[in-house]
Amino acid sequence: MNLTLKTPLKDEDLEKVNVGDIVYLNGVIVTARDAAHERFLKHGRELPINLKGLPIFHAGPIVKEAEGKWRIVSIGPTTSMRMESLEYDFIERSGVKMIIGKGGMGRRTAEACKRFKAVHAIFPGGCAVVAAERVKRVLGVEWLDLGVPEALWIMDVENFGPLIVSIDTKGNNLFEERLNAINGKKAELLKNLDKLLI
Amino acid sequence: MQDLVNLLSKFIKLVAIRLPDDVYTALKELASRENSHWGKEIYSIMFDNINLALEKDVPVCQDTGVLMFFVDAGADFPHLNVLPDAIHAATVKATEEVPLRPNVVEPFIEKNTGNNVGTRLPWIEWNILPHTSYADITLYLAGGGTSLTGHAKVLPPASGFKGVIEFVLDVISGYGLNACPPFLVGVGLGTTVETAAILSKRALLRPIGSSNPNPMAASLEKILYDKINGLEIGPQGLGGSTTALAVHVEYSARHPATLAVGVSTGCWAHRRGTVRLKSDLSYELLSYKGVKL
């Protein structure tokens, strides 16, 4: 299923979404990756913006500033799994409804998605210019002292996607299934290695 | 020195924006035989992205990495004295002008330097070519996602190639999903972790389509290639028959008591380019045909 959603995201919109669906977003999304998660949850700093109902994007952009205005040059997803240990708490405490990144996330995040009606979705990794094209403008930036990649970039986006849903509000986890399948293949592929002639 | 800095800065920009010819050709070939629903969709977006980056003159991926230079320096290259400083100055210049993402973080103080220069960075690996008057400069921009795959381990020699294959498959099955597949896989074999690791990285610099000149090493490349594709990780980990762009093995002779193995991956947007600088500072782009700086 392909669908377009508007931010802030509502529970009833997200409940319709299943793993494997493709979502496009209109509205506001905010970048947050390693250092922003740590500052909020480990160092106990309040978030400088209200993220309730919004998507966060695991991403660190290339930006350009001209005449006091920021422009996104290139912005693709980063590896979501790095945030796994903190994402449950992040979802619970910030009220975010969608996590966008690359690769899968683990069991704890899937639990949080189920409990707090949120989803995880991936944007194709490395496709950073395609993504930048969908950013209409930068609305603001917070925590820039963390460095450009780690700051919270607040962006107005249009038709932002394709976002492939990898964890849904039922707690289904596409990448956990993928990982199980890959490990199954690996066990097969490692059989009879003694017979290999190199 | 300014001419050299300008030239290198333009070279850095080229590497960040344009995929080298061999990578582009290999991706096209993979895309033509991928049959999975998601895989086809992902390849189509990748090529949109590659074309858009060229059209807009911006980096193909936002993660322009920590700059890593491999210099095959002719001992008679007349600009050797200034080359390290020129590489640093060009890094700062390109970071500002392209722009590149400032990716260099000083540990302990956790501060981003803002210009891609920091303690021991950009990283430069030197190799001296006797009786040679040119310098081949290879730049590799590896993103964080694909660098997280990196592993090296010293096995007891009794593990043999079986142990090597198991190690490589453990690493790729565990980390490959997040390494922006289809990726290039570099495997290094040597005596110690650091030699195996650097050889695995050097393996990523070899042109796609080349085989190790030792037929037995080439055979190991083929076995690993088939097994890695057999994992069916697929484009962006969503499943499919195309997972590896290629597998390259590089090795050194080893100590009788150790068999070290290193694994590195290079994401689909494999940004490594080589420029040959002649003594008069004319140049030849070895990894891009018909392109000028």
- Residue B160: CATH number of its domain: 3.30.1330
User: A129 contacts in B (CB within 8 Å)?
Assistant: 49, 52-53, 56, 58-60
Q: What mean pLDDT comes out for the span B88-98?
A: 98
Query: What pLDDT sits at residue A197?
Result: 65
Other beta carbons less than 10 A from residue A12's beta carbon: 8
B163 and B113 both lie in a single domain: no
Query: What pLDDT sits at residue A195?
Result: 78
B136 and B276 both lie in a single domain: yes
Query: What pLDDT sits at residue A193?
Result: 87
Domain annotation covers residue B38: no
Domain annotation covers residue B177: yes
Query: What pLDDT sits at residue B220?
Result: 97
Q: Is the Cβ pair A62, B220 closer than 8 Å? A: no
pLDDT higher than threshold 80 for residue B75: yes
Report the domain count for chain A: 1
Query: What pLDDT sits at residue A194?
Result: 80
Average pLDDT for chain A: 96
Query: What pLDDT sits at residue A184?
Result: 97
B75 and B92 both lie in a single domain: yes
B196 and B126 both lie in a single domain: no
CA–CA distance, B160 with B259 (Å, rounded to integer)? 8
pLDDT higher than threshold 90 for residue B91: yes
Domain annotation covers residue B124: yes
pLDDT in tens, B249-275: 999 999 999 999 999 999 999 999 999
User: B221 contacts in A (CB within 8 Å)?
Assistant: none
B129 and B149 both lie in a single domain: no
Q: Supply the ipTM of this predicted assembly.
A: 0.93
B134 and B150 both lie in a single domain: no
Query: What pLDDT sits at residue B211?
Result: 98
CB pairs < 8 Å spanning A and B: 163
Domain residues for the domain of A62 are 2-195
B169 and B117 both lie in a single domain: no
B81 and B11 both lie in a single domain: yes
B68 and B171 both lie in a single domain: no
Domain residues for the domain of B95 are 2-16+60-143+271-285
B158 touches chain A (CB under 8 A): no
B63 touches chain A (CB under 8 A): yes
B91 and B207 both lie in a single domain: no
Residues of chain B above pLDDT 70, percent: 100
CA–CA distance, B227 with B17 (Å, rounded to integer)? 32
pLDDT in tens, B104-149: 999 999 999 999 999 999 999 999 999 999 999 999 999 999 999 9
pLDDT higher than threshold 70 for residue B20: yes
pLDDT in tens, B125-135: 999 999 999 99
Report the domain count for chain B: 2
Domain annotation covers residue B223: yes
Domain annotation covers residue B39: no
Average pLDDT by stretches of 10, chain A with 198 residues: 96 96 98 98 97 98 94 96 98 98 96 98 97 97 96 98 97 96 96 79
User: A126 contacts in B (CB within 8 Å)?
Assistant: 46, 49, 60-61, 143, 180, 267-269
B163 and B254 both lie in a single domain: yes
Domain annotation covers residue B231: yes
Strands B259-266, B105-106: pairing kind:
unpaired
Q: What is the DSSP string of chain A?
A: -EEEEESSP-HHHHHT--TT-EEEEEEEEEE--HHHHHHHHTS-PPPSS--TT-EEE-B--EEEEETTEEEEEE--B-BGGGGHHHHHHHHHHH---EEEEBS---HHHHHHHHHHT-EEEE--TT-HHHHHHTEEEEEEEE-GGG-TTTSEEEEEEEEEEEEEEEE-TT--BHHHHHHHHHHHHHHHHTTTGGG---
Q: Tell me, what CATH number does A159's domain have?
A: 3.20.130.10
Domain annotation covers residue B34: no
In the numeric block, the tokens 């492939």 are attached to: A164
